[in-house]
Structures are given as C-alpha cells and as structure tokens.
Amino acid sequence: MPCHHRRRAGQTRVPDDRPAGYARGDGDRGLMDADVIVIGAGPAGLTAATTAARDAGARVVLVDENERIGGRLPGQLYRHKDTWVIGARTAERLAEEAAEAGVEILSGHQVWSCEPGWRVRLESSRTLTAPKVVVATGAAERPLPMPGWTLPGTLAIGAVQQLVQVQRILPGRRVAVVGTDPLAMTAAEEITLAGGEVVGIFMPSGEPGQHAESSPRKVLHSLSGFASAAPAAWQRLGARMLRNRAIAAAAARLMPPSGIPIGEAKLKVRHRAEAILGAGKVEALRIRKVSAQGVPVGDSREIPVDAVCLSGGLYPLQELTTGNCSLVEVPEVGGLVPLHSPELRTTAPGLYVAGNVTGIEGAAVAERQGALAGTALAADLGAYRDPGARLREAAAQVELARAEAVLTFLPGIFSGRRRLSELWEAHAAPGSQSEGKASDDA
C-alpha cells in the first residue's frame, strides 16, 4: 500500500515554475499533483527524493514497483576488508530519511509510461503529473542462456540474492554459480554463509547470446574491481596487482585447475560451464577445462548439483528514457545510457537521471548520484543562495564514492565516464551538431 507523509513544519514551498497547461488534481482520482516525481526507490531514487524534499521543500512523490523499497539493496551482503556491507540496513536508513523529509512513497506500483509534460502513468490507470521527473530505474540482469537453463532449479543471480537475504531460503544444498562478475562472487558467499555448498564459480562458455566474459585473462583482470571485498590482506593485494594486464595474463597461465578462493567458494577460471543437466529438474552441471586463452581442452565431466545460479551481468534500464531524451552507446559503462550533464540533467528539460540507469556501478555511487540529482533539482527550484557551490560539492562526493567503491562492476568505468563527459560537452557547445553522436529520441 502507498505510504503518505506530510510536509514538515517550517519547510518552504517551492517556486511555482510549472509549464503552461500544467494540470492540477482538482479532485480527479486519476491525477496527482507533485513538484517532483522520482521513479525507482533504490539508493539513487531514495536519496534524490530526500534531497529535493529536504532542501527545496518540494512535494516529492516516489514510485516503485516493489512493495519493499530499496531496490537491490535488501539482497546485498558482501565483505569490505574486515567488515560486512549489509544492504538491508542501508535501505532502512534511506527509507527513514525519505520519510523524515516528507517524501510520499507509492510502493507496489508499476510505471507504464513517462511522457513529456511530465505525465507518469501507472498500471492502475492512475496518472501523476509534475514539472520535473527523476528516472532512477537502475539496471536489469543480462540473460545467460545455455543448454538446460530452463530446468527448475536454475535461477538468475538476483533471484538467488532475494531468496537468501530477504526470504531466508537456500536455492539448493549443492549449488554451482556460472558467471564471474561481482554479483556472482557475492551471491556465492551469501549461499555459503546461509549453510549451502557452492561447488564452484565457473566461467560461461562464451557461446552466442552470452554477454558475460569467458576469457580467463580478462576475468582475472576484472577481479581488481573486487579487491577490497576480499577477506584476507594477501587476497586484496593480489587482486589489486591484477589491474596490470601482463600480470593478469601470467596469472591465467599459472592458475591451478582447483581455482582460487573467493570466501568459502572457489573461482574456477580454468573451467567453463557447458550445460545444465537433469530430468525435470537440475541434477548436474557439465563442465570442461579451458586453456589460459579460454580454449576448451580435454573431455567434459559432470558435477552433481541441485541448483545452478546464472550471472550474465547487468545493463542500464532505458524503457522510460527512450523517446524522452538523447541516448548514447558507451560500452564501458554498460551500454545505452542517457546523455547527461555532470549534474545529471538530460537533454530533455525537467528530466533528470541517477544511479545505474546512467551506467553500472555500486550502491554507494548510486546513493551519491541520487544526492547530486536531488541537489540539481533543488538548485533549479531556487533553493540555494550559491547553487554552484552546492552542485560542486555533491559532484565531488560522487567522484569520491567512485574512487573508494568496494565493488567495481566494469573495469572501464572511469574511461566510460570521461567519454560521457566529452559527449555532453560536445552536445552543449554553442552551434554543436550532436545528432551524429547521440540517438536523439526526444
């Protein structure tokens, strides 16, 4: 059910900068009047909503399709050196901050469309209107198709995290993980902490339709983004050394077939998963050794398991930005993303973005991006005497969170962010012809 919160006493009403023809509710049950609508209640959306409501006194409505807000946070649990990062606690903190700021939360509502104006249509035939919208819809999992992947007992990694961390249910007693991104690593550790056995974290086969990395050298290189999540100091040092491509290539050649420890599980970069087997349910995983270059060698063998977790990585969700603003393809940040300014304004007036919809990164970066988008909103609503200083500070916090990130999902994220900045500068340059550099769907 939606949660409603009153504006706190002493807050200032935002300037009425609504566009001509802006529709008020006027008792219409299908229309809600707001100053800002935020779509997505993950760390980015929650923080954007809180910042705009707190700093500008804006009436903010936050919409999310899930009954439990927090996005992927409730399913997250991973190490940071000698401590644990518990996503559920972060979600609780952010939800409390949003409630204290007076944000109105509509949970359990799917957004069907977002149209300039801005009109946000829900599945209940309800329409919300506001002059400003933040899209913070996050990311979706890429499928990892392979023979047998439709058998009962095969689960996507996000579903596994929800089962283990939210529902307290093990996906199986003897589990294989296929995929080598940070989600796969953290899910493997969550399963072992809950009492399950992870027989290994295996490489994808690299067959057509799989977007996950299947090269041992590249997988080891990407482990540098997982360095601070390693439990032991020597593991953290070793992971950081893998940032050097030559060291990663040498490690791939010397890697023992038994794999390397990731918590209680082992990452088997010299084995690839070829098929999931079973009669009506998962019963085994067929694996095969590969060379340091990822070439199959020898015969395949079967490992008895009762569940297989597939992790093909993430991609930014653009259903609600497509047709509303310019989009650009930047593989280093995860694919197609909105062209946006350093303050997270898009090419469409009144439309802002934050979080993984702008590129795949961790929750801490998404939270700081939400604060930056909320600050940009508040600045555009006239909330600050020195908006430039507030925006610079918020942007600096994003960069700090990125530099200190516990998990780095994409090794090229920094170069990808620089590329996005260059594209925005080209777009914003006087007399620029940016149509050739961006897919303008606005």
Question: Domain tally for the chain?
Answer: 2
User: CA-CA distance, 15 to 37, in Å (whole number)?
Assistant: 16
Average pLDDT in the 324-335 region?
Answer: 96
Query: Which one of 282, 310, 338 terminates a domain?
Result: 310
Higher pLDDT: 110 or 245? It is: 110
Query: Residue 56: pLDDT above 90?
Result: yes
By DSSP bridging, strand 314-316 and strand 139-141 are antiparallel
User: CA-CA distance, 180 to 78, in Å (whole number)?
Assistant: 15
pLDDT at 258: 75
pLDDT at 180: 84
pLDDT at 12: 34
Shared-domain flag, residues 225 and 371: no
3-state SS assignment for residue 251: helix
| Contact criterion met (CB below 8 Å) for 381 and 362 | no
3-state SS assignment for residue 266: strand
Q: Is 223 exposed, middle or buried (0-12, 13-18, 19+ CB in 10 A)?
A: buried
What is the tens place of the pLDDT at every residue in 276-308? 999 999 999 999 988 777 778 888 999 999 999
Shared-domain flag, residues 305 and 319: no
Average pLDDT in the 52-77 region?
Answer: 88
Shared-domain flag, residues 321 and 302: no
51: left (phi over 0), alpha (psi -120 to 50) or beta: alpha
Residue with tokens 């804006």: 58
Longest dimension (CA), the chain: 73
pLDDT at 74: 74
In a domain, 10, yes or no: no
- The partner residues of 201 in beta bridges, in order of sequence, read 177, 267
> In this structure, which amino acid lies at residue 320?
L
Query: Which of 20-34, 101-115, 154-168, 235-249 ranks highest by mean pLDDT?
Result: 101-115
Mean pLDDT value across the chain? 83
| Contact criterion met (CB below 8 Å) for 373 and 353 | yes
- Residue range of the domain that includes 37: 31-140+315-440
Shared-domain flag, residues 323 and 345: yes
In a domain, 247, yes or no: yes
Name the residue among 93, 94, 92, 89 with its Cα closest to residue 76: 89
pLDDT at 342: 97
232 Cβ partners below 8 Å, 6+ apart?
Answer: none
User: CA-CA distance, 283 to 293, in Å (whole number)?
Assistant: 29
In a domain, 147, yes or no: no
Q: Is 149 exposed, middle or buried (0-12, 13-18, 19+ CB in 10 A)?
A: middle
What is the tens place of the pLDDT at every residue in 71-122? 887 777 666 666 766 778 888 999 999 999 999 999 999 999 999 989 999 9
Query: pLDDT band at 9, cuts 50/70/90?
Result: very low
Query: Residue 168: pLDDT above 60?
Result: yes
Shared-domain flag, residues 304 and 429: no
pLDDT at 222: 64
Query: Residue 363: pLDDT above 60?
Result: yes
Shared-domain flag, residues 291 and 201: yes
Query: Which one of 286, 310, 334 terminates a domain?
Result: 310
Shared-domain flag, residues 258 and 124: no
pLDDT at 383: 95
Shared-domain flag, residues 162 and 218: yes
Query: Residue 4: pLDDT above 60?
Result: no
Shared-domain flag, residues 320 and 263: no
Query: Which one of 292, 310, 328 terminates a domain?
Result: 310
In a domain, 145, yes or no: no
Shared-domain flag, residues 328 and 344: yes
Shared-domain flag, residues 161 and 306: yes
Q: Is 375 exposed, middle or buried (0-12, 13-18, 19+ CB in 10 A)?
A: buried
> In this structure, which amino acid lies at residue 36?
V
pLDDT at 194: 87
Average pLDDT in the 316-325 region?
Answer: 96
pLDDT at 42: 94
402 Cβ partners below 8 Å, 6+ apart?
Answer: 361, 365, 413, 414, 417
In a domain, 2, yes or no: no
pLDDT at 409: 82
In a domain, 254, yes or no: yes
> In this structure, which amino acid lies at residue 355?
G
Lowest-pLDDT range of 121-135, 282-296, 359-373: 282-296
Q: Say which CATH number the domain at 45 has.
A: 3.50.50.60
Q: Using alpha carbons, list the distances in angstroms from residue 331 to 140, 256, 358, 359, 388.
A: 15, 32, 12, 9, 31
Is cis: bond before 118, omega within 30 of 0? yes
> In this structure, which amino acid lies at residue 160?
V
In a domain, 5, yes or no: no
User: CA-CA distance, 346 to 10, in Å (whole number)?
Assistant: 32
In a domain, 431, yes or no: yes
Angle, nearest 10°, between helix axes 43-56 and 87-100? 20
Query: pLDDT band at 224, cuts 50/70/90?
Result: low
Shared-domain flag, residues 274 and 320: no
- The partner residues of 307 in beta bridges, in order of sequence, read 175
